[in-house]
Amino acid sequence: MRILQVSAEIFPLLKTGGLADIAGALPAALLAQGCDARVLLPGFPAILAGLTDPVRVGSFGTPWGESVEVLFGALPACSKGDLIVYAYVLVAPGLYDRPGNPYEDANKHPYSDNHRRFATLGWGAAHLAHGLDTHWSAELVHCHDWHAALAPACLAVWNAGQGPRVPSIYTIHNLAYQGVFWPQNFGDLGLPGYVFSMQGMEYHGQISFMKAGLSYASHITTVSPTYAREIQTSEQGCGLDGLLRVRASQLSGILNAVDDSVWNPATDSHLAHRYDVRNLTGKVRNKTDMQATMGLTVDADAPLFTVVSRLTEQKGLPLVLSGLDEIISHGGQLLVLGNGDTQLEQAFTLQAKMHPLQVAFRKGYDEDFAHRVFAASDVTLVPSRFEPCGLTQMYGLKYGSLPLVRRVGGLADTVTDTDLETLDDHSATGFVFDDFEVGDYRRAIRRAFALYRRRSDWNRVRQCGMRIAFDWASAAQHYTNLYKSLI
């Protein structure tokens, strides 16, 4: 099967969040399943720099008259051994050759022409499904997140909708980020007028790339089974729950996975001290090093709680701040790595100044440092208001850091709460609370401290978590089966 994966970023070349991790790992996993999988990416400088032996396969014009060149080459950084990942990259310097964040300017404002930048990605996918490359055409287009969500609409209207339609899958990575633009931008998209309707991409008088994907894709997937159910409710549907209920028979959840070649404490090149489930000595040394590096009290007996996240309300960071005294008063420590909301950044900066021996904050995201944080951590905090899947808790489990999470989305699918029953049957892997309120969160923190004092139980839970396989082979098999049914 010839499968074209479409996304705006890909690890390790360009990453702003978990989308890049998935986009970087899935193609090689599909190749291992026997799929002829290729990727389509915008020509951001970091992506072009990672493309080897590029050849020009063609070009196409945008609806507003800009010419886009399409290059084809290999992505060695995304390949796994003899599983070579090949990519099509859209070269349009006027759209993509910009410094910094691929979506925002230096002031964190979305680029005013983002609708054009990512409409180009959608039309690029449609051209590659209809003969732009004379040697290869996609039998199915798999689009990730709102940046690629126009592709199903472009495929649906190709040749005025006459003849066989190339099927498409649209994967929701986070329903809250929808790619909404002013209605006057619709003319730039090159789509017929009927697409700007309630049955198409019209959304409260505006245009929504997300809604285009949901309306026109042959099938919709989310990144966890629980999230697929949750987004059909008014509470978590972000205004699109009605459409998702209508399409419920074409909606399914496939749990994300973790790339073991990247996230594995036994082989991780980012770590000074490697370790595995049978010998955790290296984890103790990593914790000591991290405490010293961040100016925390060097104390192996002080549980280290960590956050590696975008700093947003969605991720439950207000709960972390409100419950910080629960950690400090019990002798624990908190280390936060991330950036985002300015008020949250300032709040964590202030707490680190007020409690320098127990609280540390490092602004920004650094891949190397993130690996070291998980290797040092005792508890990974992910108390999200909603969470499509979440990779942080999976990284925590693999690195022997017990996740403390809210029972939503993929967090509910991946973490088993610790109680007498789950301790007895050896299924406990972390701490789970239900209500998005500080009292419930605090009780979960206290339960973590209680288990930490029972070191034999703590080690048993930690080892149970480290043995769970969130492998890409299983996820890729689910996708392959879905591709076959649609093709």
Q: What is the DSSP string of 209-232?
A: HHHHHHHH-SEEEESSHHHHHHTT
CA distances from 43 to 90, 95, 97, 186, 471 (A): 5, 9, 7, 23, 30
Give CA–CA dist 264/23, Å, rounded: 19
Question: Are 230 and 297 found together in one domain?
Answer: no
How confident is the model over 11-38, as a mean pLDDT? Answer: 96
pLDDT, one tens digit per residue, over 306-360 is: 999 999 999 999 999 999 999 999 999 999 999 999 999 999 999 999 999 999 9
| Burial 64-102, CB ≥16 within 10 A → b, else e | eeeebbbbbbbbeebbbeeeebbbbbbbbeebbebeeeb
User: In this structure, which amino acid lies at residue 207?
Assistant: I
- pLDDT grade for 162, boundaries at 50, 70 and 90: confident
State the CATH number of the domain containing residue 55.
Answer: 3.40.50.2000
Q: Widest CA span of the chain, in angstroms?
A: 69
Give the count of beta carbons closer than 10 Å to the beta carbon of residue 371.
Answer: 21
207 and 125 co-located in one domain: yes
Write out pLDDT tens, residues 30-57.
Answer: 999 999 999 999 999 999 999 999 999 9
Tell me, what's the pLDDT at 67? Answer: 97
- Asked whether residue 301 falls in the same domain as residue 174, the answer is no
Q: How far apart are CA 354 and CA 348, in angstroms?
A: 10
- Residue 201, pLDDT > 90, answer yes
Tell me: do 119 and 152 sit in the same domain: yes
Same domain, 226 and 355: no
Cα angle: 356, vertex 359, 362; to 5 degrees: 100
In a domain, 271, yes or no: no
251 closest CA partner among 177, 176, 175: 175
- At 17 the pLDDT is 87
The answer to the question of residue 242 being in a domain is: yes
pLDDT at residue 244 in the model: 98
Give the H/E segment covering residue 34: none
Segment 171-185, tens digit of pLDDT:
999 999 999 999 999
The CA distance from 418 to 427, in Å, is 8
Q: What is the pLDDT of residue 185?
A: 98
Same-domain check for residues 303 and 229: no
Q: How confident is the model at residue 163 (pLDDT cuts 50, 70, 90)?
A: confident
In a domain, 268, yes or no: no
Provide the pLDDT for residue 106: 86
The whole-angstrom separation of Cα 132 and Cα 125 is 10
Where b means 16+ CB within 10 Å and e means fewer, 431-458 reads bbbeebebebbbebbebbbebbeeeeeb
Query: Are 225 and 345 within one domain?
Result: no
Short-list 88, 86, 89, CA closest to 35? 86
229 and 348 together in one domain: no
pLDDT above 80 (res 161): no
In a domain, 262, yes or no: no
Q: Report which secondary-structure segment, H or E, holds 411.
A: helix 409-414
Do 250 and 286 sit in the same domain of this protein? no
Residue 139 CB-half CA count within 13 A: 13
Tens digits of per-residue pLDDT, 125-135?
999 999 999 99
Tell me how many domains the chain contains. 2
245 touches 231 (CB < 8 A): no
Instruction: For the chain, state the CA radius of gyration.
Output: 23
In the chain, % of residues over pLDDT 70:
100
Residue 127 included in any domain: yes
Sign of the alpha-carbon dihedral angle for 216, 219, 222, 227: positive
If asked whether residues 83 and 156 sit together in one domain, one would say yes
Question: Is residue 31 included in any domain, yes or no?
Answer: yes
What value does the mean pLDDT of the chain take? 97
| Residue 382 and residue 353 share a domain | yes
Cα distances (Å, whole numbers) of residue 313 to 123, 318, 343, 359, 386: 34, 6, 10, 20, 10
pLDDT tier, 164 (very low <50, low <70, confident <90, very high otherwise): confident
Q: Give the residue among 275, 333, 274, 272 at the shortest CA–CA distance from 301.
A: 333
Of 137, 151, 134, give the one whose Cα is nearest residue 42: 151
Average pLDDT score over residue span 409-436? 97
How far is it, in rounded angstroms, from Cα 215 to Cα 392? 30
Q: Per-residue pLDDT tens for 243-278?
A: 999 999 999 999 999 999 999 999 999 999 999 999
Are 304 and 439 part of one and the same domain? yes
The residue segments making up the domain with residue 226 are: 2-257+472-486
Please tell me whether the overall predicted TM-score, pTM, comes out greater than 0.85 for this model.
yes
Nearest C-alpha neighbor of 135 from the set 58, 27, 79: 58
Give percent above pLDDT 90 in the chain: 97
> How large is the average pLDDT for residues 102-109?
90
